[in-house]
């Protein structure tokens, strides 16, 4: 019962930052802010579609696999813009190519609408590279000290939430793959971790959108 409640609550938690984004839609003044908004909308779309498909008894795992690929591309583009380093731009492009190639190594999970499997490469590789990108960004942020108050900086909140989510779920996805034939109770514990971290990420996304400011003339 608790697992089911957390799963639904995690899916619905993205509605809160979406409402804030609609209220403050005029504040998406930079490319990074717009990409963060697209990231949130893409998550809302995934949660809505998969929830409806689940109620109808339709296979929806491939939706998660495509979403994971698309959200990583957004992550890479966000930090390609945010990190002011010439070589990092090539690193971001390389990361996108690596994730796309590794995702299609398990192409059946993307192209088979009736698949019951998560992409065994995409989740782990994209999660690891996303963590590297975020840590690289935090290193630049602390080194340059160009942000006077981190707690009022939108990309800080987004990055902190993304780091917690990816760092927490990358291991749970590995455990799901290696213990898939174990008890249902054990598998549910891993999904509880994912659900809780999704809720935390949605909360951080709320702060990220709330602190967005309009562009100065």
N residues, the chain: 217
Tokens of 80: 């390609």
Cα separation, 3 vs 82, whole angstroms: 37
Query: For position 207, what pLDDT does the model report?
Result: 95
Cα separation, 129 vs 77, whole angstroms: 13
Instruction: State which H helix or E strand residue 135 sits in.
Output: helix 122-144
CA atoms 45, 46, 49, 54: torsion sign: negative
Task: Collect all residues with Cβ–Cβ distance below 8 Å to 147 and sequence separation of at least 6.
Answer: 141, 153, 156
pLDDT tens digits for the chain (217 residues)?
677 778 888 889 999 999 999 998 888 989 999 999 999 999 999 999 999 998 899 999 999 999 999 999 999 999 999 998 889 999 999 999 999 999 999 899 999 999 988 887 888 899 999 999 999 999 988 887 677 778 888 999 999 999 999 998 887 777 766 665 555 565 666 778 888 999 999 999 999 999 998 755 4
């Amino acid at each position: 019962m608790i697992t089911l409640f957390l799963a639904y609550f995690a899916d619905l938690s993205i509605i809160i930052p979406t409402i804030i984004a609609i209220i403050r839609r005029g504040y998406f003044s930079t490319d990074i802010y717009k990409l963060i908004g697209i990231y949130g909308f893409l998550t809302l779309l995934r949660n809505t579609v998969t929830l409806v498909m689940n109620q109808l008894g339709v296979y929806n795992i491939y939706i998660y696999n495509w979403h994971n690929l698309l959200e990583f591309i957004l992550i890479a583009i966000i930090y390609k813009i945010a990190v002011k380093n010439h070589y990092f731009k090539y690193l971001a492009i390389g990361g996108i190519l690596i994730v796309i190639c590794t995702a299609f190594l398990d192409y059946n999970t993307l192209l088979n609408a009736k698949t019951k499997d998560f992409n065994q490469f995409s989740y782990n590789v994209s999660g690891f590279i996303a963590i590297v990108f975020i840590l690289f960004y935090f290193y630049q942020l602390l080194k340059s000290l160009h942000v006077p108050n981190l707690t009022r900086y939108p990309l800080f909140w987004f990055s902190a939430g993304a780091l917690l989510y990816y760092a927490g779920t990358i291991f749970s996805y590995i455990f799901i793959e290696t213990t898939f034939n174990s008890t249902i109770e054990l598998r549910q514990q891993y999904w509880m971790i994912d659900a809780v971290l999704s809720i935390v990420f949605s909360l951080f996304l709320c702060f990220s959108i709330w602190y967005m400011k309009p562009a100065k003339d």
